[in-house]
Amino acid sequence: MATAATLDAVVRAAGPQLGPMMERVEARLAALASGHGPVLARHGGATIAAGGKRLRPLLVFLAAGEEAATAADRLVRAAAAVELIHSASLVHDDVLDRAPLRRGQPTVVAVAGRTVATATGDLLFSRAFAEVAGGGEIADVRALSAASSALAAGELMQRADAWDVGVPLERYVERCELKTGSLFEAACRLGALAVGGPADELAAFGRRIGLAFQLLDDVLDVSGPASRTGKARGTDLLDGTVTLPLIVARERDPQLAAVDLQALDGEAAAEAICDRIAATGALVEAKRRALDVVAEAKALLPRLSPRQRATLELVADGVVERYA
C-alpha cells in the first residue's frame, strides 16, 4: 500500500477540496457501521477503523478530478460504499482462512467467532449497496455489483486452486484481477461516472493498479517482516495460496515445484520456504513484473488535466513505494 507520506502528497496535489471530502467519507463510514445492534456495530466499526490508508475511496475522488465538488454527495456515497465492500471482503476472507491477525490486530473471527464475523461482513456488504442505491444512480449500483461479483469469482478460483503448486501464471493473474483489481476498477469508474468523465479508460487504469497492488502484496507476504505486514511470513503458503513469488521460483528451483504445502508444519516451515523462494531471485523478478504493470497503467490514462494526471500517477507510484 502507498505510504502515508505519499498519500498526503496526493491530497495536497489534488487541491483543497479533497481533504474535506475524505473527512466526510470517514464520518459516513462510522455512521453506516452503527444502527444494527451493539455487537455488529462494535465489530463493524472496529473493522472500518482499522481500514488502512483509504486508497480505494481516494481513487473515487481522483477519478472525478477537478469536477469532484460538483458531485460531492454522489462521490462520498460511492467512496464509502467501495470501502465497505473492501472491509466486508477482508472480514469474510479471515473467516475462510481462520486468520488470527489483520494488519497486526486480532480479526473479528478470532475475537468473536465465525458466526459474528460472517454477520459483520454481511452487514458491511449490505450497507455498501444501500449506500449507492440511496443515491438513485443505477450505473453506480451496476459498477459496485460487477466488482462484488468479481470478488466472489476470484475467491472461488483461489479456493479451487488451493495447495496446487502448479497453478499457471495466467490463472494466478486472472485471480488477482478479480479479487483485487476489480474493486480498484470500480473505484475509478464510480468517480468518472459521477462527473461524466472517461469511465472506461479510468476503470482500466484502476484495474491495472489493483493488479500491481496485489502482486506486490504477495511479494511482501514472502519477504516480510511481520512488523511491516502484521502477519507471519508465508501466511499465504500456510493457507495453500500459491502466488507470483512461488510461481517464478519453481522454475528456478525444481524442488520448490514439488513442495507439498499441506505438509508445512507451522510458521517456521513456511519461513524456510520463503527463504528458498527469495534465494532464487524470484522476489526481484516479481517486483519487476509489478513495476511493468504500473507502467502499463499509467500509459492507459486518457487525456486529463495536468493536475488530475499528476495525482493519479502519484497514486500509481505510491503503490510500489512501500516495497522499495
Domains plus CATH for the chain?
Answer: 4-321 (1.10.600.10)
Please give the C-alpha separations between residue 57 and each of 52, 157, 270, 278, in angstroms, as whole numbers. 11, 26, 34, 34
- How large a percentage of the chain has pLDDT more than 70? 96
**Residue given cell 516480510 in the structure block:** 224
Q: Residue 29 and residue 23: Cα distance in Å, rounded?
A: 10
The per-residue pLDDT for range 283-306, each reduced to its tens digit, is 999 999 999 999 999 999 999 999
Is pLDDT at 1 greater than 50 in this prediction? no
Task: Provide mean pLDDT across the span 27-50.
Answer: 81
Q: How confident is the model at residue 2 (pLDDT cuts 50, 70, 90)?
A: low
- Whole-prediction pTM: 0.92
pLDDT at 227 (0 to 100): 63
Residues 218-275: tens digit of each pLDDT: 999 999 776 666 678 999 999 999 999 999 999 999 999 999 999 999 999 999 999 9
The string of pLDDT tens digits covering residues 132-177 is 999 889 999 999 999 999 999 999 999 999 999 999 999 999 999 9
State the cell numbers at 121.
Answer: 461482513
Q: Assess whether pLDDT exceeds 70 at residue 195.
A: yes
pLDDT at 56: 95
Contact 84, 25 (CB under 8 A): no
